[in-house]
């Protein structure tokens, strides 16, 4: 599977009662499809994967697949306990997903061959992109081994260890040249110059969810956005734990679509920070249009 362009991670909208707002989700994805994302990753981190029930997860993926309508690959989040991850994978397959973004297992840590068995079981259902972050910090030889498992097609890096990633990219591409790598750090655009330097061109864009014009302008070479939009956004993001998701959802609301708030333990953006975000979006849109 080949991916290109910006990777879109939609938010999961909730209604006033806290339930899943399926029609709003469909509208959110349909609007962003007009900007040509390379793939859509539904019910993943930005989509509050950890806050969804299995039933909600399955509905989110089905709505996403229907809204995308075959215009781009659709990936679904999966992970946690093996049984839950397998249920999510099978439901995603039945809902029309093309692949999975595999989150780190919940709390339990075993030796390397234990994680390999975990990945292999889930990859037997749908193609898997492994998410490296938290408890999953893989050495290059381990990624080579995982890349040899049928159905394992890529690695999303959420660690930001450029030395480790350079060694991993070199080792894996020597044997599996089509294997996918992408930058999965929050506000990935800020670190893309470093990732491009080691041969990683793909990245997940949280900004695409609320300001696709800005994300697309950056992809097309508007480097001034790094200093005028992305760096200030990262400073704002660092003020409160959980803001990598809450800011995105607030940004979608500011752009006119009521996707509701975030679920606990995340918290919504404060009024002061919402004003900062609104000003940043205005600046970013002005630069993107110039």
pTM recorded for the entire structure: 0.95
- CA atoms of 55 and 58, how far apart (whole Å): 5
Is 118 among the catalytic positions? no
- Catalytic residue of the set 106, 115, 118, 156: 156
Q: Is the distance from CB of 129 to CB of 153 less than 8 angstroms?
A: yes
Segment among 99-103, 200-204, 218-222, 234-238 with least mean pLDDT: 218-222
7 CA to centre of own chain: 7
Q: Which residues contact 275 (CB under 8 A, 6 or more apart)?
A: none
pLDDT tens-digit series, residues 164-186 = 999 999 999 999 999 999 999 99
Q: Which CATH class is domain 6-220?
A: alpha beta
- The structure tokens listed for 165 are 């990633």
pLDDT of amino acid 113: 79
Residue list for the binding site? 46
Average pLDDT over residues 188-204: 96
Average pLDDT over residues 78-96: 96
- Catalytic residue of the set 131, 195, 230, 243: 131
- CA atoms of 249 and 142, how far apart (whole Å): 35
Residue list for the binding site for pyruvate? 46
- Can you say whether residue 38 is alpha, beta or left, with left for phi > 0 and alpha for psi between -120 and 50 degrees? alpha
Is 249 among the catalytic positions? no
- Map out the domains of the chain as residue ranges: 6-220
Q: Which residue has the tokens 């994967």?
A: 49
């Amino acid at each position: 599977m080949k991916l290109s362009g910006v990777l879109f991670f939609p938010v999961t909208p909730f209604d006033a009662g806290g339930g899943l707002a399926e029609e709003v989700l469909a509208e959110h994805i349909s609007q962003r499809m007009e900007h040509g994302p390379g793939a859509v990753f539904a019910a993943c981190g930005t989509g509050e994967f950890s806050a969804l029930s299995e039933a909600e997860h399955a509905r989110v993926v089905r709505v996403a697949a229907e809204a995308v309508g075959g215009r781009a690959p659709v990936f679904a989040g999966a992970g946690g306990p093996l049984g839950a991850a397998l249920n999510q994978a099978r439901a995603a397959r039945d809902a029309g997903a093309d692949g999975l973004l595999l989150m780190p297992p919940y709390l339990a840590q075993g030796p390397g061959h234990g994680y390999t068995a975990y990945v292999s079981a889930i990859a037997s259902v749908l193609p898997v992109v492994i998410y490296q972050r938290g408890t999953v910090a893989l050495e290059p030889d381990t990624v080579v081994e995982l890349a040899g498992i049928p159905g394992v097609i890529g690695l999303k890096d959420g660690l930001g260890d450029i030395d480790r990633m350079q060694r991993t990219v070199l080792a894996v591409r020597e044997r599996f040249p089509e294997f996918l790598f992408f930058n999965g750090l929050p506000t990935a655009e800020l670190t893309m110059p470093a990732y491009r330097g080691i041969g990683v061109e793909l990245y997940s864009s949280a900004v695409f969810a609320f300001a696709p014009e800005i994300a697309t302008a950056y992809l097309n070479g508007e480097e001034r956005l790094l200093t005028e939009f992305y760096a200030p956004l990262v400073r704002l993001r660092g003020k409160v734990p959980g803001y990598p998701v809450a800011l995105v959802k607030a940004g979608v609301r500011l752009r006119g679509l009521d996707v509701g708030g975030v679920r606990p333990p995340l918290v919504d953006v404060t009024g002061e920070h919402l004003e900062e975000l609104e000003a940043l979006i205005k600046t970013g849109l002005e630069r993107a249009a110039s």
